[in-house]
Structure 1
Amino acid sequence: MKVLLRVLAYVRPSAKWAAVAIVVLIFATIFDLVAPWILREIFDEGIKKENVSLILWLTLLLIGVQALKSAGMFLQGYSQELVGQNVVFKLREQMYAQLQRLSFSYYDKAQTGQLMSRMTGDIDAVKNFVGFGAMGLLTGLLTFVGTMIFMLWMNWQVTLISTVTIPLILLVLWWFSNKVGPAWSSIREQTGRLTTTLQENIAGIRVVKSFATEEVEQKKFAERNKQNFETNMERAKLEAKAFPLMGLFGGLTFVLMIWLGAVYVARGEMTLGTFMAFQWYTWGIIWPLNMLGWQINIMQQAIKAAPRVFEVLDTPSDIESPQNGVTTANMKGQVSFRDIRFFFNDQDQAKDAPILSDISFEVKQGEVIAVLGATGSGKSSLIALLSRFYDTSSGQVLIDGIDVREYELDGLRRSVGIVPQETFLFSASIRDNIAYGYPDATMEQIEHAARKAQIHDFITTMPHGYDTLIGERGVGLSGGQRQRVALARAILMNPPILVLDEATASVDTATESAIHEALLEVMKGRTTFIIAQRLSSIQHADRILVLEQGSLIEQGTHKELSERNGFFRQLFERQKLASGR
C-alpha cells in the first residue's frame, strides 16, 4: 500500500486533469447505468403500449447518451494519458537527476543494464497503472456497485440468485493476485539481467570479435533470454488458469440470469423490459470482474516495478556539495595530503587492508608531480580523492589550505582537469567533445586546446573538420586520437590543477614526445599530477611519488630516486634495458 500511495503522489502536479478524468468517468458510468433503464422503458412503455412517439424519443435519448459517453471517453482517455505521461516525465527526470548526483561508489556496484531497465520498462509499468490501471479499477468498482443497486431495485430476487457465482470469481481473483505479484517481480529482475547482458555485449563488441567469442556470447544471451521466456510463461500460465475460470463463472452468471429472468417473465413476475435491461446490466457485473483480473495484472506490475525505481531515488549519495561551499574562483593549486587512509565502502575496515595507508605529502603551486606504482598500488585512488570522487576514510586532502570537502563540489571538479586512462568520448562532433566542459568556448579557444594536445592537424584532415561526428564512444578515432581529444578537453577548461592519468599510454613514442613538449607550456604555473607507467612520461616531473600496496614508499627527484636501490631504480633499469633491445 505504501508503494501505491507513493506512486499516486506523483499525480498531484496533474491533479486538475486527474479530477477531470474522474468526473468524466463518473458521468460515463452514470450513462452506462441509465442506458439499460431507458431500454426497459422502450419495451415496457413504448412497445407494449404501442407508443411510437415515446419509442422514438427514448431511442433518440439512448443515442444521445451514447454520444455524450463517447465524447466523455475521448476527454477521459486524453486526461488519463496526460496524467500517466506526466508521472513518467517526473519519475524519469528525478531518476536521471539522481543518477547524476550519485557518487562513484554507487556505480562501482551498479549494473548499467539494470539501470536502463528501471529507467524504461519499470517506469512504463508505473505509468500504465497510473494512466490506465487505477482508472480502470475505479470504473469497474463504480459500474459493479451501481449495476447491483439498479438490479436490486428492479428485482432483488433474480439479482441475488443469478449472482451466486460472484464469490467464486472473487476467490479466483484473490488467488491470482497472490500468485501474479511474485511472478512480475521475477520478470522485472530477469528483464534487467537480459538488458545488462545486451548492453555489455554491445559495449564490448570489439573485444568479443577480437577473441572470436560470438558463440559464447550468444549462448550467454540465449540463457538469459530463456530464463526471461520461462518466467513470462509461468506468469502466462497463471493468466491462462485464472481468466478462463473467471469467464466460466461470469458466463454462468449470465446463463442464470437468462434462465431465471425468463421464468419470472413467464410467470408475470418480471416485465419484458426489465428482462432486457437485466441482460444489459448483467454485463455491468461480469465485465468489471473480468477486467479486474487485467487491472490486478497492471497493478502488480507497478507494485513490483516501482520499488526498483524508488530504490535508486532513495539511494543516498556519499558525496554531497556542502551548503555555502567555498568558491574555487581564486584557487591556486597548492595541494596537501595529510595522514590519508582510504577504504572503499564495501570493505571491512577491521579486516581488509586499506587501499591507501598513511599517505602524507605537500605539493606547491605549479609543481609537476609524477605518481608511479604497480597496478593496484593506489595511484588512481589517490587522485580520485583530489576531486572528491571518493572521500577519505581518515585524514585530509587540502587545496590552498582548505579541505576539499568544504569546496563547492562542481567548482572543485571543474578546477581539477582530468585526462583519464580510459578515455570516453560522446557520440557527437569533435568540437562538442573538446568543448564538453566549456560549451561557450570560442572556436579559437577550441583550436588552441587541440593544438596543445597535438590533435589539430589531424582534425583538419577529417571530412568535416571539427564538426565531424566521431560515433558512439569515439569509435571513429584511434585510441591515441581519443586520448588527445580528451587532453584537449582538459586543457580547454584551463584548470589550476591538471591530472594526466596515463594520458599518453595509447600514443606512439614520437607523438608522446610532441605532446610532452606542448604540455610544458600548458603546465606552467599549473599544479600537475602525472600518473604513468612509462618513465618517459615523467621526465619533466619536479618530484616523483612511488606507491606500493597503498603506501608511499619513495619520493624525490628523478636523480635522487635513481641513486637509491628502490622500486624506482629497478623500474628505471628494466625499462632502460627493454628500450635497449
Structure 2
Amino acid sequence: MKVLLRLMKYLRPSTKWVVLSLSLLILGTLIDLIAPWLLKEVFDNGIAKKNTSVILGLTLALAGIQVIKSFAMFLQGRSQELVGQNVVFTLRKQMYEHLQKLSFSYYDKAKTGQLMSRMTGDIEAVKNFIGFGALNMVGGLLTFIGTIIFMVIMQWQVTLLSMSTIPLLVFILFRFNKKVGPAWGQIREQMGRLTTTLQENISGIRVVKAFAREQAEQVKFEKRNDENFDTNMERAKLEAKAFPMMGFYGGLTFLIMIWLGAYYVAKGQMTLGTFMAFQWYTWGIIWPLNMLGWQINIMQQAIKAAPRVFEVVDTPIDISDPANGGIASAPIKGNVTFEHVSFHFADQDQEKEEGILQDILLDVREGEIIAVLGATGSGKSSLIALMSRFYDVSEGRVLIDGVDVRDYELDGLRRKIGIVPQETFLFSASIRENIAYGVPEATQEQIEWAATKAQIHTYIESMPFGYDTLIGERGVGLSGGQRQRVALARAILMDPPILVLDEATASVDTATESAIHEELLEVMKGRTTFIIAQRLSSVKRADRIIVLDQGKVVQQGTHKELFEQDGFFRNLFEMQEAASVG
C-alpha cells in the first residue's frame, strides 16, 4: 500500500488530466449503464406496444450516446496516456538526476545492467499501471457497482440469484493476486540480471574474444535466459489456472441469468425488455471481474518494479555541497595539503583492516610538479580521488589553498582539477565534442591548441572529417594511445590550476611520450601537477617524487635524492634500466 500511495504522488503535476480522464470515465460508465435501460424501453414501450415512433426515438438515442461514448473514450485514452508519460518522464528525470549526484562509492558496487533495467523496464511497468491499469480498475469497479444497482432496481430476485457464482470468482482473483505478486518480483529481478549479463558481455567483447570464451559467455547468458523463461512460465501457469476458471464462472453467471430470466418472463414476473437488458447488464458484472485479472497483473508488475526504482532514488547522497552552498572556487591557486589523511572504503572494517591510505602528510606548493609512484594497490589513484572529492577522507583533511575540500562548492572544485584518468573513456560523439566536453563553449582555435599540446592534432587533421569525425562508444575507432591523447587534450582545454595525469601516457610509445612531456612543460608551468606513473621517464621532470607503499608515504624527495636511497624508487629504476638495455 505504501508503494501505491507513493506512486500516486507522481500524479499531482497531472491533476487536471487525471480529473479529465476520471470525468470521461464516469461519463462512459453512465452511458454503459443507460444503454441497456434504453434497450428495455425499446422492447417494453416500443415493440410490445407497436409504437414505431418510440422505437425510432430510442434507437436514435442509443446511437447518439454511443457516438458520445466513442468521443469520450478517445479523449480519455489521450488523457490517460499523457498522465502515464508524465509519470515516466518525472521518474526517469528524478532517477537520472539522482544517479548523477551519487558518489564513486555507489558505482563501485552498482551493476550497470541492473540500473539500465530499472531505468527502462521497471519504469515502463509503473507507467502501464499509473497511465492505464489504475484508472481502468476504477472504471471496472464503477461499472460493477452501477450494474448491480440498475439490475436490483429492475428485478432484484433474478439479480441476486444470478450473482451466486460471483463469490467464487472473487476468491479466484484473491488467490491469483496473492501468488502473482512474488512471481512478478522474481521476473523483475531476473530481468535485471539478464540485462547485466548482456551489458557485461557487450562491454567486454574484446576480452571475451581474446580468450576465446564466446561459448562460456553464451552458456552464462543461456542460464540467465532459462531462469527468466522458467519464472515467466510459472507466472503464465498461474494465469492459465486462474483466467479460464474466471471465464467459466463468468459464463455460468450468464447462463443462470438466462435461465432465471426466461423463467421469470414465462411466469409474468419480468418483462421481455428487462430480460434483454439483463443480458447486456450481465457483462457489466462479468467483464470487470475478468478484466480485473489482467489489471492485477499490471498492478503487481508496478508494485514489484517501483521499489527497485525507489531504491535508487532513495540512496543517500554521501558527497554533496556544504549546507551553506560552499565556497566559490574561482580564486584557487593550487596549494594542496594532505593533513593526516586516512581513507577506508565505506564497507571496510576500520578497526580490523588497514585502509587504502594511512596518515598521509603532504604539502604541495602552487605550481609544483609532484610525481606519485608505487606498486599496484598502493593507493596512488585514491590519493588523487580525495582531492576532487570523488570520495571523502575517513580521517584528516585535504586542503586546497588552506580550505578543506569539503567546504568548496562541489562542481566548481572539480572544474578546477583537470584529470586524465587511467581508464580513458570517450563518448559516442565527434572528436571535437569529446575534447570540448569540459568546456563546451571552447573555440576551434582553443580545441586545436589543446590537441597540439596532447600530440594528437596532426592525426586528427589527417582523418577524413577532421575534428568532426565521429568515434564509437568508449572511443572505438582510435587506438589506446590516441584515446589517451584525446583525454589529455580534454583536460588541458579546461585550463585548470591543478592538473592530474593518472598514467596519462601509459598507452603511448616512448617517443610520443617524450614529445608529449616536452609540450606539457609549457602547460604545467605555473600549474600544480600530479603525475601518477610507472615509467620513470614520465617523472624525471618532477620537482618532487612521492613513493607510496600499502597506503603510506615511504619515500619522498627529488629524483637524485631517491636514487641515492635504497627502496622502491631505486629498485624500479634499476629494473627499467635493465629492461631497456636488454
Normalised by the shorter chain, which TM-score bucket?
A: over 0.9
Question: 1:328 offset after TM fit, Å?
Answer: 1.1
Compare 84-93 and 344-353 and name the one that shifted more: 344-353
- How many Å separate the matches in 2 of 1:258 and 1:514? 94
Tell me the residue number matched to 2:56. 56
Does the residue aligned with 1:332 lie in a helix, a strand or coil? coil
Does the residue aligned with 1:164 lie in a helix, a strand or coil? helix
1:427-466 alignment runs, 5 A limit: 427-466=428-467
Structure 1 counterpart of 2:134, which letter? A
Q: TM-score, structure 2 length as denominator?
A: 0.99
- How many Å separate the matches in 2 of 1:508 and 1:231? 52
Tell me the residue number matched to 1:577. 578
- How many Å separate the matches in 1 of 2:294 and 2:568? 69
- How many Å separate the matches in 2 of 1:264 and 1:72? 37
Give CA-to-partner distance per residue, 1:339-376, whole Å, 9 cap, x none.
01100011111222111001001000000000000000
Give CA-to-partner distance per residue, 1:190-209, whole Å, 9 cap, x none.
00000001111111111111
Question: 1:151 offset after TM fit, Å?
Answer: 0.5
Tell me the residue number matched to 1:32. 32
Tell me the residue number matched to 1:112. 112
Question: 1:569 offset after TM fit, Å?
Answer: 0.8
Say whether 1:525 aligns with 2:526.
Answer: yes
- How many Å separate the matches in 2 of 1:370 and 1:318? 30
Give CA-to-partner distance per residue, 1:201-249, whole Å, 9 cap, x none.
1111111111111111111111000001011111000000111111111
Tell me the residue number matched to 1:561. 562
Give CA-to-partner distance per residue, 1:78-120, whole Å, 9 cap, x none.
0000000000000000001001000000000000000000000
- How many Å separate the matches in 1 of 2:181 and 2:347? 32
Tell me the residue number matched to 1:222. 222
1:378-527 alignment runs, 5 A limit: 378-527=379-528
1:48-197 alignment runs, 5 A limit: 48-197=48-197
Q: Which runs of 5+ in 1 are unaligned?
A: none
Question: 1:384 offset after TM fit, Å?
Answer: 0.3
Does the residue aligned with 1:296 lie in a helix, a strand or coil? helix
Tell me the residue number matched to 2:343. 342
Does the residue aligned with 1:11 lie in a helix, a strand or coil? helix
Does the residue aligned with 1:350 lie in a helix, a strand or coil? coil
Structure 2 counterpart of 1:297, which letter? N
- How many Å separate the matches in 2 of 1:282 and 1:288? 10
Give CA-to-partner distance per residue, 1:412-456, whole Å, 9 cap, x none.
101110001110000000000000000000000000000000000
Structure 2 counterpart of 1:81, which letter? E
Question: 1:161 offset after TM fit, Å?
Answer: 0.6
Coordinate RMSD, CA, aligned: 0.5
Structure 2 counterpart of 1:496, which letter? P
Tell me the residue number matched to 1:14. 14
- How many Å separate the matches in 1 of 2:62 and 2:580? 95
Question: 1:324 offset after TM fit, Å?
Answer: 2.8
1:298-377 alignment runs, 5 A limit: 298-322=298-322, 323-377=324-378
- How many Å separate the matches in 1 of 2:339 and 2:577? 34
* Structure 1 moving runs of 4+ over 6 Å: none
Give CA-to-partner distance per residue, 1:500-524, whole Å, 9 cap, x none.
0000000001000000000000000
Compare 420-429 and 567-576 and name the one that shifted more: 567-576
Question: 1:254 offset after TM fit, Å?
Answer: 0.4
Does the residue aligned with 1:536 lie in a helix, a strand or coil? helix
Q: Which runs of 5+ in 2 are unaligned?
A: none
Tell me the residue number matched to 1:280. 280
- How many Å separate the matches in 2 of 1:148 and 1:66? 21
Give CA-to-partner distance per residue, 1:451-473, whole Å, 9 cap, x none.
00000000000010000001111
Give CA-to-partner distance per residue, 1:233-292, whole Å, 9 cap, x none.
110000001111111111110000001101111111110000000000000000000001
Q: How many residues align?
A: 581
Give CA-to-partner distance per residue, 1:488-537, whole Å, 9 cap, x none.
00000000000000000000010000000000000000000000011111
Compare 564-573 and 27-36 and name the one that shifted more: 564-573
Q: Percent identity?
A: 73
Does the residue aligned with 1:533 lie in a helix, a strand or coil? coil
Structure 1 counterpart of 2:434, which letter? N
